[in-house]
Amino acid sequence: MIMARSIIYTLLVALLTTPLFSETPELLMKKANEAYIDESYHKAIDLYERITGMEVESAVLYYNLGNAYHKTGQYAKAILNYERALRLNPSDDNIQHNLRVSRARIGDRSEPIPRLFFIEWHDSILQLQSVDGWAITAIVFITLFSLFVALLFIMKNRIQKQIFLAASVFMLLLFLISLYGANRQYERHYSVREAIVMTPRVTAKSAPSESAVDVFVIHEGRKLEITGELNDWYEVRLPDGNIGWIRRSAATVI
Amino acid sequence: MIVSGEEFTEGQHLQQQDVSLFSNEIRFIQTQAVSWRIQGMLFYKSTTFYLLLFTPVFILIIVLILYRRSLKLRNDRVALRTKRAQKLARKRLVQAHKFMKAKNHQAFFDEIFRTLWGYVSDRLNIPVAQLNKKNVANAFSVKNVSEHLAEEFLETLSECEYARFAPAGFENPMQETYDKAMQTIVTIEKEMRKQSSKSK
């Protein structure tokens, strides 16, 4: 995959660095960061958004863009970009911090429900890496596992055999943990679609129609789970389990 | 893990009066070099991912199969040589017995000599080019054949060597050498079989 991806990158970089596309993500990033440092945040936003239009992404891009939106008071967009950054780099402390600050600005002081300590541990270990981070780790460990098993069979000495047996069991365990991590992160972020509310106040309806009964009101910057869609409407679910329909334009998918 | 900014500062203030945190402000942007990826492209569950996941296991299985096969082949070859050692020794002793009956000294000792060398070469898996008394003694001790027996074997070998070139009338009695050669081979066979069954 590293090879396949590096080929794609090389092609991409080659494509983007040709005179026809004189704006490379690197160049735009540099300009945008300079604009941010100069405190011309609107200009920075414009430049960062031009990079997102190039079909490339990175945790740093989303983080910086989130900062620029935060500085201009567009907290919902800031939250959206911090959430996107966290998907690519879940363990980053700066992203987590700024997301909390942005949420606090729009009055979202909802704290996570206290949970049992081992669930906390489980989640903090899971958040060490992104989906692909765990996937790469899994491949590293399965390779080491195979290597140790081969050595286990080839070694004649009993002590050596025992060492390699222990090592291969350990590697198998780490492999399974990594695979589990990749799968959980995938389920959490990719098999479930999440969105951030973009308009200050949205009234969710009981059906995808303006004439339907109001179910609940939700404010800018809140996270929703998208459970279905019809024409111009999203069926969304709140963390407390309430389900309603909102206009597509009212929320942006993370 | 996630603590709201306000709560964090309050906790800090209680313990560290000298540090005032204004954590309701965001942290600065990151300006280091960025590694780019294609939007929405996931490595997990991609074909490359599965390929890389199964390749090490696949290689492992192939390596183990090849290893097992080479091990079996080697064991078979050794077993074959062992079998041949006994068969050949028996055949040559029969031939030597014929020479003894015909009172052909020269041919008799020659045959016994070749019987013994051929036997150890096949039985102990020593290439003919490396056949000498020292190697044979070493090989015997590795295979846990008793020292006394190894000595007896080499002694018989020496006897034959001398007898081959001894002038007429001074030769060892053929029957004695014949019995000794046969006896050592039979005893060595017995001991080695005992050893191999013990090691299994």
When CB atoms are compared, the residue of A9, A68, A135 closest to B44 is: A135
Interchain proximity A61–B34, CB inside 8 Å: yes
Q: How far is CA B69 from CA A81, A157, A185, in A?
A: 58, 20, 43
From the CA of B63, how many Å to the nearest CA of chain A? 7
CB A135 within 8 Å of CB B37: no
- A107 backbone φψ class: left, alpha, beta (φ>0; ψ -120 to 50): left
Question: Chain A contact for B29, CB < 8 A?
Answer: yes
Select from B117, B120, B122 the least CA-distant residue to B141. Answer: B120
Q: What is the pLDDT of residue B158?
A: 86
Amino acid at position A184, single letter: R
Query: Cα–Cα distances in Å, from B146 out to A103, B43, B143, B150?
Result: 86, 65, 9, 6
Per-residue model confidence (pLDDT) at position B50: 95
**What is the token pair recorded at A59?**
């945790």
Counting residues of chain A whose pLDDT is more than 90, the rounded percentage is 56
Angle at B60 between CA B57 and CA B62, to 5 degrees: 115
The one-letter amino acid at B158:
S
For B70, the closest chain A residue by CA position comes to: A154
Q: Which band of pLDDT confidence, cut at 50, 70 and 90, is reported for residue B12? A: very low
pLDDT at A3: 61
Q: What is the CATH number of domain A193-253?
A: 2.30.30.40
Which comes out higher in pLDDT, residue B139 or A79? A79
Nearest C-alpha neighbor of B89 from the set B158, B193, B184: B184
For residues B176-186, average pLDDT? 88
Between B77 and B56, name the one with better pLDDT: B56
| Count of beta carbons in the 10 Å neighbourhood of residue A232 | 10
- Shortest distance, CA A221 to any CA of chain B (angstroms): 16
Is A56 within 8 Å of B37 when comparing Cβ atoms?
yes
Q: Is the pLDDT of residue B5 over 50?
A: no
Q: How many CB atoms lie within 10 A of CB A183?
A: 17
Q: What confidence category does residue B109 fall into, taking pLDDT thresholds of 50, 70 and 90?
A: confident
Residue B12 buriedness (CB in 10 A; 0-12 / 13-18 / 19+): middle
Q: What pLDDT band is residue A40 in, cutting at 50, 70 and 90? A: very high
Q: What is the pLDDT, as a whole number, of residue B2?
A: 46
Burial of residue A182 (number of CB atoms within 10 Å: 0-12, 13-18, 19+)? buried
How far is Cα of residue B176 from the mean position of the Cα atoms in its chain?
Answer: 39
What residues of B are in contact with residue A82 (Cβ under 8 Å)? none
Q: Establish if B6 touches chain A: CB-CB under 8 angstroms.
A: yes
CA distance A47 to A41: 10
Look at residue A110 in the predicted model and tell me its pLDDT: 63
**For residues A191 and B85, what is the distance between their CA atoms, to the nearest angstrom?**
70
Task: Kindly identify which residue of chain B lies nearest to residue A12, measuring between CA atoms.
Answer: B38
d(CA A237, CA A147): 47
**Structure tokens given for A206:** 């009981």
Q: Evaluate if pTM is beyond 0.95.
A: no
Q: Which of A1, A127, A186 sits opposite B48 (nearest CB)?
A: A1
Q: d(Cα A232, Cα A219) in Å, to the nearest integer?
A: 20
Which range of A166-180, A237-251, B82-96 scores highest in mean pLDDT? It is: A166-180
A201-214 confidence digits (pLDDT tens): 899 999 998 898 99
pLDDT greater than 60 at residue B6? no
Averaged pLDDT, A83-96: 91
Contact check, Cβ <8 Å, B34/A146:
no
Chain A: give the shortest CA distance to residue B173, in Å: 49
Residues in Cβ contact with A46 at an 8 Å cutoff, skipping those fewer than 6 apart = none
Give pLDDT, residue B39: 85
Mean pLDDT value across residues B50-79: 91
Q: Which of B3, B37, B54 to mutate to test the interface with A (most CBs of A within 10 A)?
A: B37
Numbers of helices and strands, H then E, in chain A: 9, 8
A100: nearest CB among B2, B44, B56: B2
Report, as an integer, the average pLDDT of A64-71: 94
Share of chain B above pLDDT 70, in %: 83
CB pair distance less than 8 Å for A111 and B56: no
ipTM for the complex?
A: 0.73
Options 1.25.40.10, 3.40.50.970, 3.40.225.10, 1.10.3720.10; CATH for A2-105 is 1.25.40.10
| pLDDT given at position A142 | 95
pLDDT above 90 (res A138): yes
* Chain B residue with the nearest C-alpha to that of A13: B36
Provide DSSP, chain B: ----HHHHHHHHHHH-TT----TTSPPPPP-S----EETT--STTSHHHHHHHHHHHHHHHHHHHHHHHHHHHHHHHHHHHHHHHHHHHHHHHHHHHHHHHTT-HHHHHHHHHHHHHHHHHHHTT--GGG--HHHHHHHHHHTT--HHHHHHHHHHHHHHHHHHHSPTT-PPPHHHHHHHHHHHHHHHHHHHHHHHHHH-
Output the average pLDDT for chain B: 81
Weakest mean pLDDT among B26-30, B142-146, B153-157: B142-146
Out of A58, A112, A190, the one facing B35 most closely (by C-beta) is: A58
Interface test with B, best of A10, A11, A40, A56 (most B CBs within 10 A): A56
The backbone torsions φ and ψ at residue B27, rounded to the nearest 5 degrees and listed phi first, read -80, 160
pLDDT category at A239 given cuts 50, 70, 90 is confident
